A and B are shown apart, each in its own frame.
Chain A
Amino acid sequence: AQSVTQLDSQVPVFEEAPVELRCNYSSSVSVYLFWYVQYPNQGLQLLLKYLSGSTLVKGINGFEAEFNKSQTSFHLRKPSVHISDTAEYFCAVSGRMDSSYKLIFGSGTRLLVRP
């Protein structure tokens, strides 16, 4: 079984500042990792995913994340945030050999960008 921990429930940051949203996972098997963004009263939109290959993954809207197997982490970063990045961000994991294709979500981190 897998689990995901997002330690920060809310991250306030000023516009144009860099940001890092932390995600740690636990799994007894190899995993796929995802970051999703959710705007108010909307569904989830995929930001980026790590399936294999390079551990540095680039996604949409200038976001990137780095898979660190030894630290079981998949932190999300953006060098300069915009007001429009204010949203809820979810980290998710799926077991590589899990034929059910289930996603296990973290509790979410609210990114609050201030002018």
Chain B
Amino acid sequence: GAVVSQHPSWVICKSGTSVKIECRSLDFQATTMFWYRQFPKQSLMLMATSNEGSKATYEQGVEKDKFLINHASLTLSTLTVTSAHPEDSSFYICSARDRSGGSSYEQYFGPGTRLTVT
């Protein structure tokens, strides 16, 4: 149980184009989803917190207009990297918190999406 999927697992795009990454909770409903960015051999950096039916909360320094997050349902959140540039190349990981988790702070992580912008 508690499986989170991401699609695509890897994507290559040209500079200036937009890329959408999907994060799905497969066997539970996720009130809250989180988007992280991870550079090679570094830790996860929280980009934003996504709550179903409301606007995402972005961390300081993360451009809202560049990284568009939509949490349209209890099982799906999307991250769109708009007008991508080579410096946006990174490993993007989402996680989800089970709606029925009560006070549990456990997050279930997706397998990540490798984005390469050429």
B107 near A: Cβ within 8 Å?
A: yes
How far apart sit A85 and B46, CA to CA, in the bound complex (Å)? 26
How far apart sit A105 and B46, CA to CA, in the bound complex (Å)? 9
Give the dominant DSSP class at B's interface: strand
B109 near A: Cβ within 8 Å?
A: yes
Task: Chain A residues near B93: list those with CB within 8 A.
Answer: 43-44
Most buried by A among B42, B46, B95, B106: B106
A42→B43 contact, CB < 8 A: no
- What band does the interface of chain B fall in when counting residues whose beta carbon is under 8 Å from A? 20 to 34
0 or 1 for each of A69-101: is its CB under 8 Å from B? (1 = yes): 000000000000000000000100010000011
B49→A102 contact, CB < 8 A: yes
How far apart sit A110 and B40, CA to CA, in the bound complex (Å)? 12
Which A-chain residue is minimally distant from B4 (CB atoms)? A43
How far apart sit A34 and B57, CA to CA, in the bound complex (Å)? 23
Q: Which of B4, B41, B105 contacts A103 (CB 8 A)?
A: B105
B97 near A: Cβ within 8 Å?
A: yes
B44→A90 contact, CB < 8 A: yes
Q: What is the number of residues of chain A that contact chain B, defined by CB distance less than 8 Å?
A: 23
Task: Chain B residues near A108: list those with CB within 8 A.
Answer: 41-43
Q: Known contacts A41-B114, A101-B32, A107-B42; can you find 13 more A-B pairs with CB under 8 A?
A: A34-B106, A41-B91, A41-B112, A42-B112, A43-B6, A44-B93, A46-B106, A94-B105, A102-B34, A103-B34, A105-B44, A107-B43, A108-B43
Residues of B bordering A, CB below 8 Å? 4, 6, 32, 34, 41-44, 46, 49, 57, 91, 93, 95, 97, 104-112, 114
